Amino acid sequence: MKKLLLLSACLLAQALWAQQQPKQYVLIEHFTNSRCPICASRNPAFYALIQQYAKDIHHLAIHPPVPYNNCAFYLTNPAHNSARANAYGISGTPRVALNGTLVPVGNPLLPAATLQAALGKTSPIAIEVKEGGAAPNKTAEVTVRTFGIVPAGNYRLFVAVAESTVNYNAPNGENKHYDVFHAMLTDINGQSITLPPIGGSASFNFNFNYVKPSGWTSNFDSLYVLAFVQEANTKAVLNSGTRFDPIFTHALEAQGARAVRWSPNPATDFASALLPGERIRSVEVFSLSGQQYAVEYTVEADLVRLSLEALLPGAYLVRVMTDAGPYVGRLMRP
């Protein structure tokens, strides 16, 4: 019985942990060529499949010079298209990589079971993308936030510009092309990144000067930025993000609680929060993984003062219960 209870507790803990982690989007790197007849025969079924999971995937169409080096999309940026293909040793098209793992050559290009097996996973990081600017200049701010333990590795940040839909009558008969890769805003081999500690974030700013390609019609307004973090040796993609994704919210913050601001923050010994007009009932402190900590606090009217001496360095969520409902705020102890 004790073993069963322990197993149940472990499973519950794992479920709670998973609820606190961001969703892992499946990054699909699609290597294709606008003059390749095999691509034209297999791409339609591939597109039909991934469109069923549009909210769970990020798709990037890369055009290497194989089997034809006069592909119009390849010629837009030969160096960047080739570099991404070379990273996987691509020697023919069409090919697909899921989160950094090449799918074996076959027909269909991407079996449904292979994609489905990659869905529903979580990641210790979330990637938020904000875009700005006006033609011909686009700006992007990429923020990487850490919510859990990141496996050791040599991580690199990639930030790509893609065009969502291109209408182009290609020599192989395809006339609709999706998420066409234009350029990498980081180094073509990625930008070295030290991922922030749990509860922390790191932001990076990029600029893209748009030049209309020759040989096919492009639209500045269809451009968007796709960012992803990849381990350099294994090619495993930790997560990816675009401006179209909802921002990840911790489970406690998603319960309809109002925000509370702690000061100072970060704080070493004590932090305080003022909730004007509220009657404070209790204060609870949680790690981002859901573990609750016993802490001391004092309340004076609508001011709560929290002692941090019992907490290890890290990021925490503090929930203050009042007669009017909960307040939740983040607090960092360095």
Hey, where are the domains in the chain? 20-242, 253-333
Domain 20-242 shares a fold with domain 253-333: yes
Q: What is the pTM of this model?
A: 0.76
Buried-exposed string 218-239: b where 16+ CB fall within 10 A, e elsewhere: beeeebbbbbbbbbeeeeebbb
CB 31 within 8 Å of CB 85: yes
Stretch 128-148: mean pLDDT:
92
**Does domain 253-333 correspond to CATH entry 2.60.40.1220?**
yes
Annotation: CATH topology of 20-242: Immunoglobulin-like (2.60.40)
Q: Is 314 left (phi over 0), alpha (psi -120 to 50) or beta?
A: left
Tens digits of residue pLDDT in 271-308: 999 999 898 988 989 887 667 888 999 999 889 999 99
Using CA of residue 160, residue 165, residue 170, residue 174, what is the dihedral sign?
Answer: positive
The structure tokens listed for 331 are: 């607090």
φ, ψ (nearest 5 deg) of residue 280: -85, 130
Residue in this structure with the two tokens 């990639």, named with its chain if needed: 158
Least confident of 131-140, 203-212, 265-274, 324-333: 324-333
Q: What percent of the chain has pLDDT over 90?
A: 72
What's the number of CA atoms in the CB half-sphere (13 Å) around residue 267? 20
Tens digits of residue pLDDT in 191-249: 999 998 877 789 999 999 999 999 999 999 999 999 999 999 999 999 999 999 977 66
Tens digits of residue pLDDT in 109-121: 999 999 999 999 9
- C-alpha–C-alpha distance, residues 300 and 107, integer Å: 69
- C-alpha–C-alpha distance, residues 16 and 205, integer Å: 34
- C-alpha–C-alpha distance, residues 166 and 189, integer Å: 26
